A and B are shown apart, each in its own frame.
Chain A
């Protein structure tokens, strides 16, 4: 139903970890999730899960050799995932014309299709971006990352992909870092989560287990749960209580109270 591309422009900011673990967080909320590793030249999602045998991959589907159904695998917490192949020789031969129809097909099979975009803005990243309906930008609080994130957002606007917001990842908390408020102003986007540099993310990566499984109480995992809840409608969707009045309704009520005296 929803396709969300996780993109950054800059590499090494945590796109793959966020894509995979956000997928798991959504699955734990009862959603059907398919995570697609769109990084055809640097496929990592299978490695992060410790899943070695994926004989058919997105590569095969893109080459038209198999239907994408044959490249869907079961992952942790009930997620499904479409890995990319690890063969560089094959990656160089891939045509991306089939990518968008593949994503459309996957949208029919899941509540959320999470697309882990490659870095940069070459044809693979551009195709991943324009194939999705929505975008989550991942940035780290550094000017180079912000520059790349700005480019991604501009490209998303060009293709009418809705920017849901951004995740600031790997915050160290030093004075030289760009503040989250500044990032929100620069990117003109909502903050979905602020995540401190978390050694547990690297530990989970080294043990080839998702952070959500290995360290469910880590700040990273909590941030994923928060984003997942937001994507599912936030607190009001989950709470039994009646949501608070809408902003406008609330203001009108308050004005009435103020001026009636």
Chain B
């Protein structure tokens, strides 16, 4: 998510020893304008989740798998942030923004805007689940370009680059020469 740096309130909190649910409740009670950022290294690459608060209310979230260049938003992102909070090797940082910074940031991250119900925010402490990463890997396979070209019967288009005007003229000239030779 494209966010201003803001003012660091908490940095380097150990995800494994923090009760994420309590942290979210605390930020909510303190009516935080800002965001909490969870970064973990338990999967096969770095993963980073961001939960954005406006006066303590959750208003946006995203989750990035940096290795795969995949970003998820809203509820799907939140599920993964909760999962990340169960990681063995992870840190949590909390930053404060001004109201203006927050609203500007939201306008540039519309996809991440998410206003959850209390049920959506229920957090059950579990062990870290690697199947979330597997889902991303599976989806990446489905988005493989050569597979998609086959799926939509476009392989031929990809293989044959259209000729430029100059190349077409050269082809025409060759054709004329061949005809003359005959």
Contact = CB atoms under 8 A, between A and B. Distances in A.
Interface of A: 121, 123, 126-127, 143, 146-147, 150-151, 154-155, 158-159, 178, 181-182, 184-186, 188, 226, 229, 234-236, 238-245, 247, 250-251, 254-255, 257-258, 261
Nearest to A150: B157
B152 A238 contact: no
B153 interface: yes
Given A244-B4, A258-B91, 9 more contacts: A143-B154, A154-B161, A184-B143, A185-B143, A186-B152, A239-B105, A240-B101, A244-B3, A255-B41
Given A121-B162, A150-B158, A186-B148, A241 B66 contact: no
A240 B97 CA distance: 12
Contacts of A242: 4-5
A254 B91 contact: yes
Given A241-B97, A242-B5, A254 B46 contact: yes
B5 A178 contact: no
Nearest to A122: B165
Contact of B5 (A185, A226, A241, A254): A241
B18 interface: no
B2 interface: yes
A234 B109 CA distance: 11
Contact of A150 (B5, B110, B153, B154): B154
A257 B12 contact: yes
Q: Is the interface of A mostly helix, strand, loop or mixed?
A: helix
A158 B161 contact: yes
B14 A261 contact: yes
A146 B154 contact: yes
A257 B149 contact: no
A241 B101 contact: yes
Interface of B: 2-6, 11-12, 14, 39-41, 46, 48, 66, 89-91, 97-98, 100-101, 104-105, 107-110, 143-145, 148-149, 152-154, 157-158, 161-162, 164-165
A238 B104 contact: yes
B154 A186 contact: yes
B164 A257 contact: no
- Of the candidates B40, B41, B154, B162, the one having the most CB atoms from chain A within 10 angstroms of its own CB is B162
- Of the candidates A126, A186, A240, A250, the one having the most CB atoms from chain B within 10 angstroms of its own CB is A186
A257 B154 contact: no
B156 to A, nearest CB: 9
A182 B154 contact: no
B39 A258 contact: yes
Contacts of B149: 186
A257 B46 CA distance: 13
A126 B145 contact: no
7 contacts: A146-B154, A182-B148, A234-B108, A241-B6, A242-B4, A254-B41, A258-B40
A70 to B, nearest CB: 28
B91 A244 contact: no
Contacts of A261: 14
Contacts of B89: 258
A158 B164 CA distance: 8
B125 to A, nearest CB: 20
Contacts of A234: 2, 108
A244 B66 contact: no
Given A147-B154, A241-B101, A242-B5, A126 B164 contact: yes
B81 to A, nearest CB: 15
Contacts of B109: 235
Contact of A229 (B101, B108, B143, B153): B108
Contact of A241 (B4, B153, B164): B4
Contacts of B41: 254-255, 258
Contact of B108 (A151, A178, A235, A251): A235
